[in-house]
Structure 1
Amino acid sequence: MIFRFRVILDNDTEEDVFRDLEIRRTDTLEDLHNSITQAFGFDGAEMASFYLSDDQWNQGEEFSLFDLSDGLDAVSLMNETALDGILSEQQTKLIYVYDFFNMWTFFVELAEIVDEVEGVDYPNLMFVHGQIPDDAPEKTFEADDDDFDDFDEFDDDLDLEDYDGLDFDENWN
């Protein structure tokens, strides 16, 4: 079976920029990453991650290109994650971020699942629309004022001058 994806650049330009890709359902997220970077003309040398997403495009579990956790946390890696292991007719959306310095952000949606066509090489770039801009679109990270109403940085009743009450062994090593 073949997964058909629409990959849309998250941008605020006048023209939509997207690519339609086909890839085997048993391929990995790393294979999809390579297909996306080639389809949009990136060299593929930058850090990238996929994130599971819901219908409102909220960012969920991360699947990273490399393990940068220093072994502290479990990390899901692209090369260990098959597409059909995380995507289905019910779970169709991913967010893809390429180059964390420039934050190229893409909405990736599984559009349909079809039979493999004999003679077609996969992955397959099916359709190209729009030119990618020279620079990544600016991102605005905003929160509503009421998102922080319940936050009080110093609401912990901690006396920083009371060393005996801190339960801290200053000679721990």
Structure 2
Amino acid sequence: MIFKFLILSDEADNFKREIKIDADATFLDFYHVILNCTGFSNKEMASFFLCDNKWCKLQEITLVEMDTYSDEDSYIMEKCILSDYLEDEKQKLMYVFDYLTERALYIELSEIIPGKNLDKAICSLSVGEAPKQLLNIEEIKTDGVLLDTGESFYGDENFDIDELDREGFEGLDDISVDTGESDIF
């Protein structure tokens, strides 16, 4: 069985890729095809997310094993077979390629072709340029507005320690900082 995926971007209007891949391939195989057809580097972290019909993330499939101390199962691309997670046409996925800003490509399983197999995945349609994989700090937007790069990333010089809320800081009353006062609060 062959899966045909349509891949779009909300950043690059003219970007479109169509990938055909065997249903028995892994998410890692799918990841490599996406890298090849977008020009993205394999040096960055990436994840697939299975999504509902409204693009809400349901389950993450990561590039590498994440050391989690929870009871949640960890799903990695190398061990996850596409057909074990995808079974319906129009099923949606996200491919997060920039963890800092959670930028992603939007993927839809557009067609399931039964009775055929592919030895190697192919990009059967390539239109437009992929979005940049990584943005410079000047290009990162918050709520549609460019960040003010003149402001300190961690705060500004007008910081007033008296504005801190005491909740969660119990036991720190006796610690002094170089403010000329005997304690923080």
- TM-score with structure 1 setting the length: 0.70
Where structure 1 has 5 or more consecutive residues not aligned to the other structure, the ranges are 143-153, 162-173
- Where does structure 2 lack aligned partners over 5 or more consecutive residues? 145-164, 172-185
Following superposition, the deviation at residue 82 of structure 1 comes to 0.3
Structure number with bigger Rg: 2
Deviation of the 1:9 alpha carbon = 1.7
Partner residue in 1 for 2:30: 32
CA displacement at 1:138 relative to structure 2: 5.0
How far 1:69 sits from its partner (Å)? 1.6
Q: Paired residue for 2:6?
A: 6
Q: CA offset at residue 42 of structure 1?
A: 1.1
Whether the 8 Å contact between 2:51 and 2:93 is mirrored in structure 1 is yes
CA distance in 2, matches of 1:63, 1:88: 16
Matching residue of 1:43: 41
Are residues 70 and 115 of structure 1, via their aligned partners in 2, closer, same or farther at CA, if it must alter by over 3 Å?
closer
Q: What's the RMSD between the two structures over aligned residues?
A: 2.9
TM-score normalized by structure 2? 0.66
Q: Hey, what's the Cα distance between the residues in 2 that align with 1:25 and 1:70?
A: 29
Identity level (%):
28
- Return the offset for 1:102: 5.5
2:97 maps to: 98
Alpha-carbon deviations, 1:132-171, whole Å to 9, x = none? Answer: 24455856569xxxxxxxxxxx9x9x9x58xxxxxxxxxx
Q: Deviations over 1:25-53 (max 9, x none)?
A: 00001111111111101122211101110
Which residue number in structure 1 is paired with residue 59 of structure 2? 61
Q: What is the one-letter code of the residue matched to 2:128?
A: G
Query: 1:167 maps to what in 2?
Result: none
Match of 2:160 in 1: none
Equivalences, count: 144
